Amino acid sequence: MTRPTHDPVDQMNAAVHDGDLRAALDRALGLTRRKRADALEELPDLPKYRKIAADIKRHTLDNLKYYITRLEAALQGGGVRVHWAADAAEAVATVQGISRAAGARTVVLAKSMLAEEIGLEPGLAAAGLDVLQTDLGERVIQLAGDRPSHVTAPCLHMSAGEIGRVFERTLGLPWTDDPEALSRAAAGDLRGGFLRADLGITGVNLAVADSGTLCIVENEGNVRMVTTLPRVVVSLMGIEKVVPDMPSALHLLDLLGRNATGQRWPGYVTWMSPEWPATGPRPERHVVFVDNGRTRIHGSGPYRSLLWCIRCGACMNACPVYGRVGGHAYGHTYPGPIGAALAPLLSPGPDTARLPAASTLCGECGDVCPVKIPLPAHLVRLRGDAPARGGFGRPGRAERLAFRLWRWFMSGGRRYRVSLWLHRTAERLVPRLVSRIAGRLGWHHGRARPLPAPQSFRARWPRLDAPPEKGDA
Amino acid sequence: MPCLVDRFLPGIGEAAVQVLRRCGHAVTFDARQTCCGQPAYNAGHVDEAAALARRFLDIFDGAEAVVAPSGSCVSMVTGHYGELPLSDDEMRRWSALRSRVFELSQFLDLHGDLDRLDVRWDGRVGLHHSCHFLRELDGAVPALRRVLARVRGLELIDLPDATTCCGFGGTFSAKLPDVSLSMGRDKLAAIDAAGVDAVALADAGCLLQLQGIQRAAGRAGPRILHYVQLLTGAGERP
C-alpha cells in the first residue's frame, strides 16, 4: 500500500501538543458551544425539530434524482445556465470556461467549502485570473497562504495577533490585534476588488427544487456584493444541497444558524430566484452541479446519510478530538467527525485511510448533529470497510493478526483462562517486556498500564457461589 | 461479566454479585463466557466480533436476565449486535434475548428490591457519564441516579463537562495515545477542581484510563470508582 504523505493520525498525535493551537481552539469553541446551546434552548421541541430536519434530508436524498432534475428545470426555465461536473477537475474547467467566455480578469469568491474541495482558487489563478476571497476568514487564509481549518470559521486556528501579523506582512497594516481594525482593513482592501470584478462565484447552502431559488448564508454582506456587482455570477453546489420546497429550506435554515454559530438567523441570507433581480440589469447566471464522489456515496447505501450534512460544523465544535487537534491535522477540506467519515469516501487514498480511527466513538457528534447523521456508526463501519474506500484503510497486518489471535483466545473458556494465566505470568516474570509491548500499543509515559488482578473474577467465582448469601433474610 | 472486569478489576464483579443478591436475585456466572466482542467491533473487525456475538447467544440464550456492570458491553449486545453479519436465525435469537439484557443500574432500578440495599457511603461523589452508558442506553443515567440516591450519606455532585469523554475509546487509546492522554488529563483536572471525594463511572475502560493516568502521575486524586463499589460500601475511603 502507498505510504501516506500526510497521515492524519500522526498529525493529530503531534498537533495535540501545540499549546497556541489549543488556546485558540478553546477560546473559539468554548464560545460557540455556549452560544449554540443558548440558541437551541429557545426552540420549543428540539428533538422534533431535528427529526423533521432529518426526515427532509432523508426524503430528498432518497429521491435525489427527482429533485435535482426538478431544480435543473426550474433554473433553466428562468434563464440560468446549468452545468454538470462529474469531478473536481471538470468543475474547475467549467468555471474556467465560463470566465474565459466572459473575458473575465478579476474574480470575487464568496466563502464556499465546495470551492475549497475542488481546488477552485488555485485552478483559477493558474488560468491567469486575479482571484479574491471576500469572506474575511477566507481572505485571511488566502493572504496567509494557509488552508481553512473549520467549515464555518476558516481561520479558527489563528489568534487575532497572528492575523495582525499576516496583514502587516501582506497589506502593510501596522500590527494590531484589534478585530475591528483588522476587519476594517480587510474590507478596505477588498473594495477595489469588488468594483473591478467581472465574475462572482458563490457556494450554495440550500437549493429549492420547485422554484430554483438558491439560498446562501453569511455574516458579512460580502455575498450581496459578489452576487450584485460582477457581470457574471456562478454558483457552485454539491448535488446534495437540493431541498424540495421553501418550507423545507426554512426549517433547515432555522437549524443551520443556531447550530453553526449560535445565531437565531444568519446575519445575511441571500435568496436568488432564477428570475432575480426583478428589475435592473440581470447578471449572466450559471449554476454548476458538482458530483465529485457524491453519487458514489449515494449509491453505496449505508453511507448515504453522510450526504444529509448541512455543513453547520456543530460536530467538530463538539468533538473532543477536533477540539484538541484542530482542522489541519485531518488533512482534508472537511475536518471533524463529518470529515473523518466523508473524506475517506470522497477522497479514497492513503492520506484519508486512517481518518475513521480519529474518534473515541463517544457519540457527542451524533448527539449534536441537527439532521441526525449517525456519525459514530459511520465511523465504526468505515473502520472495517476498505472496499467502500477504494481498498484503502484496511487495518494493518499486525492489527489483523492481533485480532485473529484475540478471537482465538476468546473463543473458548479454557483458552481464555490460558490468556489470563499468560498475561499474569508475563507481568510477573518479564514486566519490562510487557511494558515495552504496552508502550508500542500506546500505553506509555503518562498512563500506567492496567495490571491483571492476582485472581480474576472467574477464579473467585467458586468461592462466591459456594455459600448461599445469608444477609438476605 | 465484562472481560476487563474479570481480568483487571474483579472487585467490581464481586460487588455486582453482592448487590444483586442483596436486592433479591439469584446470580450465576457461566464460566464459558469470555468477551462480548466490542473491542473487535469498534476497531472494524466485524467477523471477529460476529464470532463472539454467536458465542454470547449460545451461552446466554437460556438466561432469565443477563446483567452486566458496564454501559458499553450492554450497548454492544443490545444495540450493535444488530449491525453484525449474523444469520437470520441468529438475528431472531438475538431479538428474543436483547430485551433481557440489562445494565446493572437499569436492572436494579426496574427489578431490584432497593429497600434491602441498606448501605452507607459518606462523601461527595461526582458522576462521570461513561459515553455509551449515557448515549446508547435509554434512561440509564436517571436509573443510576435513582439507585445511588438509596446510598445513605452519599452526596452526588454534578461535575463540569460531565458528558465529555475520558479519552479511552478502546483502540483509540492506542492509535491516538497523545490525544487520548490529553483528554484523560483534562477530565482528571475537572474532577480535581470539583472537590469531590470520589468519582463514580459506569465502565471499566474509563476507570482504567483515569486510574492509569493518576498512577503514572504518582499522586492521589479523588478515587475513581465503578458505581457498584458505592452500592456495597466497598469503595470506602481508606
What are the beta bridge partners of residue A214?
Answer: A207, A272
Q: Tell me, yes or no, if A381 comes closer than 8 A to chain B by beta carbon.
A: yes
C-alpha cell at A459: 477464579
B195: left (phi over 0), alpha (psi -120 to 50) or beta: left
Of all residues in chain A, the percent with pLDDT exceeding 90 is 90
Chain A 412-441, residues with CB within 8 Å of chain B CB atoms: 412-413, 416, 420, 423, 441
Alpha-carbon span B205 to B2, nearest angstrom: 10
Residue found by looking up cell 487520548 in the block: B180
Distances (CA, A) of A440 to A378, A431, A443, B42, B43: 28, 14, 7, 20, 17
Nearest chain B CA: its distance from A147 CA (Å) = 22
d(C-alpha A332, C-alpha A319), whole Å: 17
Which one of B10, B44, B215 has the shortest CB-CB distance to A453? B10
- Residues pairing with B156 in the sheet: B125
Model ipTM over 0.85: yes
- Grid coordinates belonging to B200: 463514580
pLDDT at site A280: 82
A-B Cβ pairs (cutoff 8 Å, strict): 198
Task: Tell me the chain A residues in contact with residue B136 when contact means C-beta distances shorter than 8 Å.
Answer: 363
Contact between B213 and A356 using a beta-carbon 8 Å cutoff = no
What is the rounded distance in angstroms from the CA atom of residue A340 to the CA atom of residue B158?
A: 32
* Mean local confidence (pLDDT), B189-205: 95
Query: What is the per-residue pLDDT across A451-466, written as a single tens digit (0 to 9) for each?
Result: 999 999 999 999 998 7
Residues A381-439: tens digit of each pLDDT:
999 999 899 889 888 899 999 999 999 999 999 999 999 999 999 999 999 999 998 88
pTM for this predicted structure:
0.95
Instruction: Please state, for a pLDDT cut of 70, what percent of chain A lies above it.
Output: 98
- Mean pLDDT over B5-29 rounds to 96
pLDDT in the model for residue A3:
67
Please name the residues between 278 and 337 in chain A that touch chain B, using a CB distance below 8 Å. Answer: 320-321, 324-325
Query: A294, A328, A300: which is closest to A15 by C-alpha?
Result: A328
Q: How many C-beta atoms lie closer than 10 Å to residue B105's C-beta?
A: 29
Q: What residues of B are in contact with residue A451 (Cβ under 8 Å)?
A: 8
Q: Residue range A306-334: average pLDDT?
A: 97
Which residues in chain B are contacts of A452 at CB distance < 8 A?
A: 7-8
- For the purposes of burial, counting CB atoms within 10 Å of the CB of A48, is it exposed (0-12), middle (13-18) or buried (19 or more)? exposed
What mean pLDDT is predicted for residues B65-79? 97
Amino acid at A384: G
Contact A382, A389 (CB under 8 A): yes
Whether the upstream peptide bond of residue A277 has omega within 30° of 0, thus cis, is yes
Condensed to tens digits (0 to 9), the pLDDT of residues A374-397 reads 999 999 999 999 989 988 988 889
pLDDT for A1 = 46
- The one-character DSSP state at A3 is P
**pLDDT category of residue A472 using cuts at 50, 70 and 90:** very low
Distance CA B168, CA B208 (A): 8
* First-to-last C-alpha distance (Å) of chain A: 66
At residue A444, does pLDDT exceed 80?
no
Chain A closest CA to B128's CA: distance in Å? 13
Distance CA B206, CA B196 (A): 18
What is the mean pLDDT of the segment spanning A21-50?
Answer: 95
* Chain A partners within 8 Å of B14 (Cβ): 457, 460, 464
* Cross-chain Cβ contact B211/A406 below 8 Å: no
What DSSP state is assigned to residue A242? E
